[in-house]
Chains A and B, each alone.
Chain A
Amino acid sequence: MKGFILSLRSEFYKSRKTLGFWAAILLPLIICLLVSAGFYVKSAKMVNMPGLLVWMAFSRAILNVMGSLLLPIFVIIVGYSVNSIEHKADTWKTLFSLPISKWSVYSAKYAYALLLVFICLLLFLGLTVGLGNLLGILKPELKFSEYSMSKALTQVYFKLFLSSLGILSIQFLLSLLWSDFLKPMGVGFVCTIIGVILGVTNWEYTYLFPYSHQMMALRNMMPRIKGRGTAPEFVIDIFTKDVYVGLGIAVVVFIAGFFIVQRKSIK
């Protein structure tokens, strides 16, 4: 456990000056700020919208850019960047000749990639809610204050996080095995495109393909009326079969990856 924590701290120390780390922070910041600026400038168009719809328009604008296209690419980059730092510096040999178990080194790296995706989505959540409320204060004619979407958005982003785990595990392992930038990236991009196509065509087995999971996670996000006379509420089913498939793939690939690392010769 000590080795794991030390390795995790070292991962942060090493990567804090790299693009992979900053992407996790800058991506949500830039997208959320741009969308907010758009809403601020074009607020006149949405004056007559009820609070629920304004929130939906606002969060969807962010989620549509992020969720279906950028998130898979971001996950691919994160999986690549935590491993490329060692490929580039030729440091696998030193990493595996430290008095720290291979399991700790490997799992800390994986955990760090997971953490970056988590931080990125957490920032998206925080910024969406925070900037939505800020817009409500700056432009009271936008009826953000009428409705609170924090709970639904928390569920949506949590589901997006779970949906990312399948891709992350696969990309993490590919990037660990291949030092070449193009190979894991190429596989990742092709699979993402296939994932989008499958997501659009609504094929009945799409849920088995992890690169479609994020798109699927975003789909059934429609408000439903719960009970009579109550305000409409989002009902988000987090644990759907695609999420289970994603989690299953993540666990299997993670464990398989460890056995590969264990046997891997460091050339």
Chain B
Amino acid sequence: MVIQTNGLTFSFGSQPVVKSLSLQVPEGSIYGFLGPNGAGKTTTIKLLLNLLKSQAGDIKIFGLDYEHHREEILSQIGSLIEQPAIYGHLTGRENLLNRALLLQLPESRVDEMLKLVRLSQFAQRKASNYSLGMKQRLGIALALLSDPKLLLLDEPTNGLDPNGIIEIRELLIRLVKEHKKTVFISSHLLAEMERMATHVGIINYGELLFQGEIKDLQSISAPLVRIETANTVDAANLLTKNGYAVTDVTDDHLFVAWQSKQQTAEINHLLNQHGYAVYSIHKVQKDLEKLFLDITQTPAK
């Protein structure tokens, strides 16, 4: 495990922000850390970087603890937290040069990074004049500068246009596949994570609700029968009366928990028998977006 936490707990004053978090991030994974705004994602990342001191629990990164190996751990991590931290009065290139100076890296590495995030032509522009997307890309370049084994990225696609998002996604996938890096990436966008994450952790109100491979998340979501019919509300009532579990009703569709092919045929028959025209009926996997909402919308305890 590259990141392993045990019972990690943190509060701001009396307000608990992270509750007994036990993360397991395997090597070579893209770990999507999902949760709505205010769920404790940034706080967790700051704990993982030793910027905040946990009140309970422990953190092991590369199997090492911060108490004895702070610099050793940090030398292998690249990070981007919240808005990228950039000196506005320096140019993009100078921001990278300053970091290269601190990390004792050659200047050539700076130009490589500028090229990688496609900022070469804006390298001499003052960073305060960068657009949000350019700042974000510079932040990613800063995180990648030292060629770290582990990347901790807090909502790195914030403010990027669709092209920028695709570029970052492809870059991260490439880093993991070709360079054996591990990426821990937080987001509130499930669809985005679905496209790149190999592992997922879902956090809400500081609690880890789910952790596992992305396919496990999909498999725990039970399939549904999606029925397109004319009068969905009455049809739903009819099905409920006959003992079917209706999970959702919209203007055009209604959803019933899927049990078997036979049962799907029976539903179709029942609706037809009672004069409800069925326009389409088929089995669907629960939408991951919906599943995410289901898991995170449990009220705070």
Chain A interface (Cβ < 8 Å from any Cβ of B): 6-7, 9-10, 13-14, 17-18, 85, 88-91, 93-94, 96-101, 263, 265-267
Contact = CB atoms under 8 A, between A and B. Distances in A.
A263 B51 CA distance: 10
A101 B71 contact: yes
Contacts of B52: 265-267
A100 B71 contact: yes
Interface stretch (B31-39, B98-106, B247-255): B98-106
Interface string B81-112: 11101111110001001100111100000000
Contacts of B142: 94
B102 A10 contact: yes
A89 B82 CA distance: 12
Given A6-B101, A93-B51, A85 B72 contact: no
Given A6-B101, A9-B101, A265-B51, A97 B77 contact: yes
B231 interface: no
Contacts of A97: 49-51, 74, 77, 79, 81
Interface string B36-61: 00000000001001111100000000
B75 interface: yes
B102 A85 contact: no
A7 B102 contact: yes
A99 B86 contact: no
* Residue with the highest number of chain B CB atoms closer than 10 Å, among A85, A89, A266: A89
A17 B126 CA distance: 12
A180 B234 CA distance: 62
Nearest to A91: B85
Contacts of B101: 6, 9-10, 13
Given A93-B49, A98-B74, 9 more contacts: A10-B98, A13-B101, A18-B89, A88-B88, A90-B85, A99-B71, A99-B72, A99-B75, A265-B51
B87 A6 contact: no
B122 to A, nearest CB: 18
A95 B71 CA distance: 12
Contacts of A6: 101-102, 104
B131 to A, nearest CB: 17
Q: Which of A7, A9, A266 has the most chain B CB within a 10 Å cutoff?
A: A266
A101 B73 CA distance: 12
